[in-house]
Structures are given as structure tokens and as C-alpha cells.
Amino acid sequence: MGFTFQINDDVHFEHNQQLLAKSTANRPQLHHQTLTPTRLVELVKDAHGLEGWGVKQLAPISDLSNYQLKRDEKLILDFGNHQVGRFSMDIASVGSPMDAPLYVKLKFAEMPAELARKSEDYTGWLSRSWIQEEYVHLDTLPAKLSLPRRYSFRYVEITVIDTSPKWQAVFTNPTVITDSSADLATVAVPKLEDQQLTKIYQVGLKTLEDCMQDVFEDGPKRDRRLWIGDLRLQALADYATFKNTDLIKRCLYLFGAMPADDGRIPANVFTQPTETPDDTFLFDYSLFFVSILADYEAFNTDQMVLDDLYAIAKRQMDLALTKVDDRGALQLDEDYPVFVDWSNDFDKATAGQAILIYTLKQFITLAKMTHDTEIEQYKAQLAKLEDFAKTTLFDPEAGLFVSGPDREINVASQVWMTLAHVLDSSATRELMTKTVQQLFPIKGIATPYMYHHVTEALFEAGLTDEAVKLMKAYWGKMIDLGADTYWEAFDPDKPDYSPYGSPILNSYCHAWSCTPVYLIEKYLV
Amino acid sequence: MGFTFQINDDVHFEHNQQLLAKSTANRPQLHHQTLTPTRLVELVKDAHGLEGWGVKQLAPISDLSNYQLKRDEKLILDFGNHQVGRFSMDIASVGSPMDAPLYVKLKFAEMPAELARKSEDYTGWLSRSWIQEEYVHLDTLPAKLSLPRRYSFRYVEITVIDTSPKWQAVFTNPTVITDSSADLATVAVPKLEDQQLTKIYQVGLKTLEDCMQDVFEDGPKRDRRLWIGDLRLQALADYATFKNTDLIKRCLYLFGAMPADDGRIPANVFTQPTETPDDTFLFDYSLFFVSILADYEAFNTDQMVLDDLYAIAKRQMDLALTKVDDRGALQLDEDYPVFVDWSNDFDKATAGQAILIYTLKQFITLAKMTHDTEIEQYKAQLAKLEDFAKTTLFDPEAGLFVSGPDREINVASQVWMTLAHVLDSSATRELMTKTVQQLFPIKGIATPYMYHHVTEALFEAGLTDEAVKLMKAYWGKMIDLGADTYWEAFDPDKPDYSPYGSPILNSYCHAWSCTPVYLIEKYLV
């Protein structure tokens, strides 16, 4: 996830050791595969590829050892699909004795477009340290180069910065040992007649697989950590595929163990070198702790988890409800903003109200399960929130929800009110039909995260054809542009859009975009 | 040493396992010191420093942990003197949790001028891989960064390429663990009244110490290997100081074990990953095997070494003598050039003839020790060579030796004829007096290697004052420009001269420049 940075380094956090221990007890075992590249490729201009770049075969991989590289020469290995893991290769010298160190640069890329940009040119606000490249000196050859870090890539560009005029470098046995806590053997891939949907499912499954590590990561290239907004969607996708509930449990405990002193659950946590909550807080993300717990219990009733985490979920709801005024209107707070989507070009008040309703309904389910004596108070709050939504936020003339003081009509409001089922079925269908008529094609949305919610809203409203059409137009278009896994950011009107000013920082395997596996399984199988 | 590259990768070499085993048996134990920087410095313009650069103190080293670095910020550590060893430091993050890897660049420099140049701008012919810099990603902090390679440096520039906007990097405990096979405790430093000579001696001793590693290296920064021309001078300096004869023995065996199939000893050998001779051959360098063996036996009679290596020394002499014509004139061969000095702007024939005479005299001493029955043939050859030198190469009118078809008069010819003692003492004194009168100040010589031979020739000719004057003007001037150790290349008329187009590739601690310790000990103590 990318977002305007919050710096709240004065906030203190709880570290509940009992819950952290349960998180640790559910650490997954990583599965490893040893894979080799399929071919050598060249970067070529390709009008159909992302940013106008693609690759074409230079030679079969069996030719690799024939290439003797000297200063400024390079090769690109193609591993044939997206991989997450550790890279190694053997390097030897040929010619005269090696009279200088070998200096070599390795650049790992998920997409060809990353290779077309120079790292030095990147001046964006996100850290340059995310660019997947290494400079390595080897004083003696032959040697096995085993890079200790994990990379997320399909392509490895090897550039010889220098040998010496007397000898050349030869590379053999390039290998990746992959990492994932997902086990493909557990997945019953649905048989779909539609070839495009089959492909959309497969790429989504690969995306989820490569983001399933020691935790559910948002992106194995960047930011490589557990965000609650991504976790909610990953968990839904996981129930539909790998059914690795231990990993979800681990992640729930991680968040549950480390709220801020004021009770709010942070938007993300780090697990290396130790469990550390980030100092970023988002109103909807904190609430999604409720949602994830409810989804978990719905899939897999687990009394211990419910007992351990219910009070924490309740605390999120209680904190959120303090932001609701007497009329039942959510009053958003600048210090605790609602995310909804990356874009800040639309009013988020109504979407925020809908998310609160959505999660409050899930909370009431949990309250029932725990026989919470205060359940009626929450039901009353829900009624008030829904009433305000229906009477004040819904514009009967337009047949759409409005948002903010300027009564803005935007997609997010309709989508989240649909997902929250604030209106009845037929009114919801009407709402989304109007949304399609009046607000489609969607403009200004660049995240699969928001596109997921739009697509799910169409399904929930019964507009299955529209939902499939959107899924094909959005996720299908990423595949057309060369995606092996789905991207963190994608605006189909501006395929070259990067929130960071360069594809070199983009994450092209990002958890929140994996949801076609869930949507297809839930609504089409 | 730098030189026009030879590529002879079709040459085959012997690997005499018995001699290699003796070389291995004499591998030195390395001594280690753990040292810390003395201060933080800034790079400043300094008209008195090499290339116009120097440093000034920014803060005492105790302030280091107060510096919190973010993107593009840097610090320079000053270790107070030249060091050869492995670097480590502790790195922590401060601020918000570390939400991106740390990307840091470390650049190791022997002289401030190296820090003033950008590595990317270097386009010279020597390998860029010699630039002492590393790019490192650290995924989690705190961490200890222990770089595995050995560097040669006084300054360490730490540049943070990026953290993230949310946190900064803090560096503590920078440390070098030094490597040297020299043991300073064994040296009886002469007490000299002259302060400048004392300093010249000290810097020479440090230069030799830092070049004494697993073998005598030519330079611990570059090329980090055993060259026979450097070894001859290092051995002479070692007899005058550390008296580590085992290391000399090890190096003699290394060369002796690996001649080419035609018998020639190569100009240098590698010892990592295994003992490997380089495919470079220089006429005078092969002959210096004789010289080094004779010097070794003169210092320390060692029958086993003599028995093992005499035949190999004899083979060098026999090969060299095949290049002598009936008149007693050395006929130089393009495939087996004589080095004498880097410069190719002077005729080397007469200097080559003198080097052959010089080494043949040493060979005859060895032949006597081994009771070689063929000794008379060598004496006859010597007479012929000397006769040609005196009758044909010496110009009685000029009072100087001439060289080549154009009867060029150059410094190198006079110097090597002096060192070879082709003329008697008084004629030699006259020769060098004339040399000083007519050919000084020296022009166009940029190596301490050649300056050593000029200085020694002055001493040998009895011109002690001139020798001391030259030593002060040359080695003293390096110290004035900021040298902690002596340089591979230095032209006092053009202090900024680099044979590689950039100081970034220069070796500022180079074995062949350490000889003031030998000259002072032999001629002034």
C-alpha cells in the first residue's frame, strides 16, 4: 500500500505477550521450490506492453554459458513467471588470469518496464531502497554468488560493471529458491468455461500465493509487511483457495496484540526484527479488525480466537462510534482519516459511514456469538447510522448517495452503501444500475483495492454481467499488458500511471489485487 | 604496478608441487589490530593537498551517534592513518519504525582526492572494480554491518542513499581489524637527527608494513598481488627493517614453482583462489628472480633455497643471454620487453643491457656458491657485455651512456650502468655528477620505482648529498601533499598526474615506493 505518510512516533503501543505468543505459535512453515530461468531475453519496445516495454527471446537458457561478458555488457534472465525467493548463480572467469575483482550489478524486475528505467533517475518520495538491485564485488572466481536477500521478480538483469581487459565473466546455474507459505496442492481450482476468467483466476491465485509469506504481505517487492486493508482481502481470497486459516489467525493475533495505548489498532505491523506496530492509523483499517475476525469466525468457528480478540474488536467499534454525532452521522477526523482509496480527489464521508455500518453489522454477529449483554446498544447505533444514511445521505431524486457538504456523488459512496446493504435488495440493484449508468466508466480510480469493492458491489447488487465485464476490463487488461501477478496500482485509462513517478518503485504483485479468486469462487462457481 | 596489458593466454605454465608446498609452508601468520576512527571530517579544497583536496575536522568521533542521516546525507570517518583491513559498524534506525530497507554506500579512500571524484565518471582502461566502494541494503535494523572484503584506506565515506521519510540511520562503533604479516616490534627504527628524513623513513615503513600480507603485495588497494619488480625492492626494504625472511622465501618459491613452459618466470603471480601465474612477461622482471635470490642468500645464506631455486635462476639468465648478439649487445624483443620504468618515452636498450650486467654479476655470485662448473662461461659473457657497454654505449665525449640507434642520452641508462658498476668508482662518480648536471631536474619520470634507482645510483656513486636532496624532494613532497603511505605513481612536476586518468584508481600505498627505509638504513645510518 502507498499513502501519504503519517509520522506519530510519540504514540505508545501495547505488546500483549500472550497474544504475541499465539501469533508466533501460528507462524507458517515456508515452502520452497528450486527453479531455473526458461530463457535469455532482450528488452524491446512493445506497444502492447506496460509503459511500451516487453521482452523477446535472445536465446534458450542452455546458451547461457556461451556468453562471456566484459565491461558494460548485460544479460537478462527470464524465469518464465513471477517468483519470490533467493537468487544464486555460479560465476567463472575466462581468458587470462583474473587480475581485478569482478564488479557486477543485479537488478530484479517483476515487469520489463522496471528494466527500462534507470535507478539513478528516481527522485520520488518513496524510498529508493525498494529498487531491487545489488552491486557486488567478487575478488576471486570461480565463485557461487548467493544473495542473502529475498527478491520478487520474473527478470534478472546481470550487468558486468567491469572485469578487466584481460578476462571475461561467465554465468551458469542461475537459480531461485522460492518462498511461500501457500501450498498450491490444497487448492481446488474451479473449472471455468470462460478462458479469460480462467486466466484471471490463475493470475490472482499466483498473486495471493506470492504474497503469502511469514505473514500475509501486501507486496513481496514492496512494502513486504502486514497491512490490515490487504489482510482483509487476502483472508477472503484465502478462504476461497488455500484455506490456510493458521496464517490468518497469526495475523489477527499480531494486530490484536499491539494496539496503541488509546486502543486503536494500527494500519500495519512489522515482524522483523521483532513485532513492531507502525505509527500509521486509518479509521476504516482499524475497523477492519472487526471485519477480519467476523469473516474468520464465519468460515471457521474458533472459540479461542473469539475469546482472545473480541474485546479488542469491540474497542475498535467503540472508538469508531465516538465519532458519530447525535444524528447518526460519522464525523471524520483529520488525525484518524478514513482511507477508502488512495485518491483524495473525492469526498469520503459517505463511504466512511457505509464502512462503519458494514463493520458494525459484522460486529453484531460477533456480539451474538459472545452473548455480549450490550448488543442492543450496538443495534441501536446501527439503526441510527442506517437511518441517517437512508434519510440524509441518500438523494431520492438522483437515486444515489451523496457525500460531504457539497453533496458530491461518487462511486465509492454507492459501492460501500451497497456492500453494507443499507438499502433492500431491489433498491440496491437500482442503486448500482444507476451507478453503472451515470458513473461508469469509472474515472480516477487507480487501485485494484477500490476496483475490488466496485466489482463486489455489482455482484452483491445482482449485476453479475456488469461485474464480470468490469473484472475482465480491469484485471484482464493487466494481463493484456503483461501481468504475471496483479499490481498495486492500475488505472486502465492511464496504464503508465505510477503513484511514485516511476514503475521502478511499483509493486507488481500486490495482495489487495488478488481478489478475482474470491469473487469468481463466491459469485461465479 | 600498472603497465600496458599483455594477453598471452595460450602460454602454459609449470606447477612444481614440491616448490609450491614449500611456498605454502612459509605462509605468514597475519597480525591484526582493532582500530577506531579518530574524528569526523569534511572534504575541503586545500591548495597544498593532492589534486587540491584535503580534509578538516567536522567533529570528534565521540559525536558520531548524534548524526541521524537520511537520503543523500553523508559522513566521512577519518582513521588517522593508512589502514589495511576489514571494516564493520553498527547501524540503528531512529524515528518511526523502519518501513523500508536502508540503502547505504561506503567508499574507502586512501587520499581525500579519491573522495572528490565520482566513480561513475571513471572511464579509464583499468578495471572500475578497483574502486573501493560497496552498496549495501539492510532489510532490518539494528544490525552490525561487517563487510567481508579487505580495504586499504584512511577515510570511509558513508552515504545514505535512502532511509524513508519516516526514519533516519545512526552509525556507531566503526572499526577496522587490520591485516599485516609485518610485526613492527621487530624493527629497530634508526635514530636520525634530520626530522624530515625521520618522517620519510616512518612513512616508508608504514608503506612496507601495509603491503606485507599473505605475500608481498604491490599495493593493498590495487593490484593486491605479488609482482617481481616490487618484490625485489620490498625484500631489500624488509632486510633493513622487519627481517621477515620467511615471507621472501615464500615469494621466491611461488615464482620458482610456476615458470612458463619455455622457462621464463612471469612478471607476477596470483595466490587466490589458488596459485596462478599471470601471462605477463618482462625481460628485466624475469632476471630479477636471480637478483632476489642473490640478495636473499647474501642476507641469510640458505642452502636449501639455493639448491631448490638455483637452476631456475640459471634458466632466466640463460634465456636472457640468448638475446645478446656476438658483439655483446642486448637485442630487445617486442614479445619480451624490458620494463625499466612505466614511461615508454625513452630508449630502454642501454638500461636493459645494464640490468642484464647487474643481474649477471649477482648470478655469478650464486654460481660460485653452488660451485657451478659453467661459471667461466658466464664470466666471459659478462666481460663481453661490459666491454660492449664501455666501448660502444659509453660516449667519451659526452661522458654519458647513449641508448638506441639515435644514441639517446637518458637518466635510466646512467643510473643502471651505475648500479651495475660497469665503470670504476671514480668514473661512476663522474658519470652521476654529469647526470645531475645535465639531466637534472629529472623530467618525465612518474614512478617511485625509477626514482628509487636514481637515488640509489647517487648513493652508489658517492653523491650522498644529491641522493638525500632527491629523496627529500621526491618522497618528502608526497608527504607534503598529504601522503600517509607512498604512492604508486608521482611526478613532482605534475602532482595530479594519474596513469589512469583519475586518482580514484591510483594506489596510494604501493610497495615499490617504500624504499627510503632501505636507502636510509644502507647509506645514512
Cα gap B250→B20, rounded to integer Å: 9
CB contact under 8 A, B129 and A276: no
pLDDT of the residue at A1:
38
For residue B280, CA distances in Å to B221, B259, B264, B271 come to 20, 11, 10, 16
Residue B1 pLDDT level (bands cut at 50, 70, 90): very low
- Using a pLDDT cut of 70, give the percent of chain B over it: 99
Task: Report whether A136 contacts A121 (CB < 8 A).
Answer: no
B431 contact partners, CB below 8 Å, separation of at least 6: B399, B400, B401, B414, B417, B418, B423, B461
Query: What CA–CA distances, in Å, run from A423 to A324, A358, A437, A460, B83?
Result: 20, 12, 19, 12, 76
Mapping DSSP to helix (H, G, I), strand (E, B) and coil, where does residue B491 land? Answer: strand
Residue A284 near residue A338, CB atoms below 8 Å: yes
Which CATH topology does B17-29+192-523 take? Glycosyltransferase (1.50.10)
A148 contacts on B by Cβ (under 8 Å) = none
Report yes or no: B323 and B333 within 8 Å, Cβ to Cβ: yes
- Closest alpha carbon within chain B to A94: B9
Q: Which of A466-480, A511-525, B4-18, B415-429 has the lowest mean pLDDT?
A: B4-18
- Chain A hits for B97, CB-CB cut-off 8 Å, are 270, 276-279
> Mean pLDDT across the stretch B436-449?
96
Q: What is the DSSP letter of A399?
A: T
Please give the residue that has the higher pLDDT: either B334 or A23: A23
Q: Which of B277, B218, B363 minimizes the C-alpha distance to B16?
A: B277
Nearest C-alpha of chain B: how many angstroms from A279?
7
Q: Are the beta carbons of B103 and A128 separated by less than 8 Å? A: yes
Sheet holding A276-277, edge to edge: A226-227, A268-270, A276-277
- Burial of A61: CB neighbours in 10 Å, binned 0-12, 13-18, 19+: middle
At A474, the amino acid letter reads: Y
B127, A8: Cβ pair inside 8 Å?
no
Residues of chain B contacting A127 with CB distance shorter than 8 Å: 71, 99-101, 103, 162-164
CB contact under 8 A, A100 and B273: no
d(CA A218, CA A220): 7
DSSP per-residue codes, A457-474: HHHHTT-HHHHHHHHHHH
Q: What is the mean pLDDT of the segment spanning B219-244?
A: 98
Please tell me the distance in Å from A95's CA to the nearest CA on chain B.
6
**Cell 503483461 sits on residue:** A482
In whole angstroms, what is the distance from residue A437 CA to residue B162 CA?
47
Confidence band, pLDDT 50/70/90 cuts, at residue B2 = very low
In A, which residues are within 8 Å of B166 by CB distance? 5, 7, 9
State the cell numbers at B475.
618522497
Percent pLDDT > 90 in chain B is: 95
Chain A: closest CA distance from residue B7 (Å):
6
Three-state SS string over A222-286 comes to CCCCEEHHHHHHHHHHHHCCCCCHHHHHHHHHHHHHCCECCCCCCCEEECCCCCEECCCCCHHHH
Written as nine digits, the cell of A211 is 504474497
| Cis bond before residue B308 (omega within 30° of 0) | no
Nearest CA-CA distance, residue A161 and chain B, Å? 7
Task: Provide the CA A212 distance to its chain's centre, in angstroms.
Answer: 11
Distance from CA of B99 to the nearest CA of A (A): 7
Tell me how close the Cα of A142 comes to any Cα of chain B, in angstroms. 8
Distance CA A31, CA A35 (A): 13
pLDDT in tens, A280-314: 999 999 999 999 999 999 999 999 999 999 999 99
Q: pLDDT confidence of B4, banded at 50, 70, 90? A: low
How do residues A72-115 score in pLDDT, each as one tens digit? 999 999 999 999 999 999 999 999 999 999 999 999 999 999 99
Tell me if B278 and A99 make a contact (CB, 8 A cut-off).
yes
Which residues of B fall within a CB distance of 8 Å from A102?
129
Whether A129 sits inside 8 A of B140 (CB atoms) is: no
Q: How confident is the model at residue B499 (pLDDT cuts 50, 70, 90)?
A: confident
Residue A431: Cβ within 10 Å count? 23
For residues B159-165, average pLDDT: 97
What local confidence, expressed as pLDDT, does residue A254 receive?
98
- C-alpha separations of A180 from A32, A183, A517, B182, B383 in Å: 7, 8, 18, 51, 80
Which tops the pLDDT comparison, B471 or A5? B471
What is the rounded CA–CA span in Å between residue A318 and residue A41? 56
Q: Is the pLDDT of residue A427 over 70?
A: yes
Whole-angstrom CA distances from B409 to A185, A415, A466, B234, B279 are 85, 94, 94, 29, 32
- Name the closest residue on chain B to residue A136, using Cα atoms: B134
The alpha-carbon gap from B143 to the nearest alpha carbon of chain A, in Å, equals: 10
Distance from the A274 Cα atom to the nearest Cα atom in chain B, whole angstroms: 9
Residue A497 has pLDDT above 90, yes or no: no
Query: Distance between CA A188 and CA A394 in Å, rounded?
Result: 42
Average pLDDT, chain B: 97
ipTM of the complex as predicted:
0.96
Contacting residues of A for B272, CB less than 8 Å apart: 139-140
Residues spanned by CATH 1.50.10.10 within chain A? 17-29+205-523
Interface with B, mutate which of A4, A90, A96, A123 (most B CBs under 10 A): A96
Section A412-417 average pLDDT: 98
Average pLDDT on B159-171 reads 97
Rounded to the nearest 5°, which phi and psi values hold at B114? -65, -35
Reduce the DSSP state of residue B506 to 3 states and report it: coil
CATH code 2.60.120.260 region(s) in chain A: 34-178
Amino acid letter, residue B284: D
pLDDT for position A495: 87
Check: CB of residue B254 under 8 Å from CB of residue B278. no
CATH 3.40.50.300 given to domain B34-178 = no
Find the DSSP H helices in A337-447.
349-369, 375-388, 411-419, 425-439
Residue of chain B nearest A119, judged by CA positions: B161
**Chain B residues in contact with A96 (beta carbon < 8 A):** 7-9, 278-279
Question: Which of the four pLDDT bands, split at 50, 70 and 90, describes residue A24?
Answer: very high
pLDDT band at B24 (very low <50, low <70, confident <90, very high): very high
Q: Is the pLDDT of residue A500 over 70?
A: yes
Interface test with B, best of A12, A69, A137 (most B CBs within 10 A): A137
Rg (CA), chain B: 25
Q: Which three cell numbers stand for residue B291?
A: 637478483
Which of A128, A160, A269 to mutate: most B Cβ within 10 Å?
A128
Cβ contacts (< 8 Å) between A272 and chain B: which residues? 139-140
With bands split at pLDDT 50, 70 and 90, how would you rate the model's confidence at A368?
very high
Residue B496 scores a pLDDT above 90:
no
- Preferred mutation among B11, B105, B127 to probe A, highest tally of A CBs within 10 A: B127
Q: Report the distance separating Cα A82 and Cα A514, nearest Å.
A: 14
In A75-214, which residue ranges form alpha helices assigned H by DSSP? 112-116, 195-211
**Residue A366 one-letter amino acid:** L
CATH 1.20.1070.10 fits A17-29+205-523, yes or no: no
Nearest to A292 by CA among A341, A261, A324, A256: A256
Q: Select from B5, B166, B279 the residue whose CB has the most chain A CBs within 10 Å, as the one to mutate to test that interface.
A: B166
Contacts of A165 in chain B (CB under 8 A): 5, 7, 125
Q: Among B155, B176, B181, B190, which residue's Cα sits nearest to residue B74?
A: B155
Interface of chain B toward chain A, CB-CB under 8 angstroms: 5, 7-9, 71, 95-103, 125-130, 134-135, 137, 139-142, 149, 161-166, 222-223, 225, 270, 272-273, 276-279
Chain B nearest-CA distance from A129, in A, is 5
d(CA A163, CA A169) in angstroms, rounded, equals: 7
In angstroms, the separation between the Cα of residue A143 and the nearest Cα of chain B is: 10
- Write out the three cell numbers for B226: 605479488
Which residue, among B10, B99, B279, B505, would best test binding to A if mutated, counting the most A CBs under 10 Å from its CB?
B99
Whether B272 sits inside 8 A of A5 (CB atoms) is no
Query: What is the distance between the alpha carbons of residues A64 and A144, in angstroms, rounded to a whole number?
Result: 16
**Cα-to-chain-centroid distance, residue B273:** 22
Quote the pTM value: 0.96
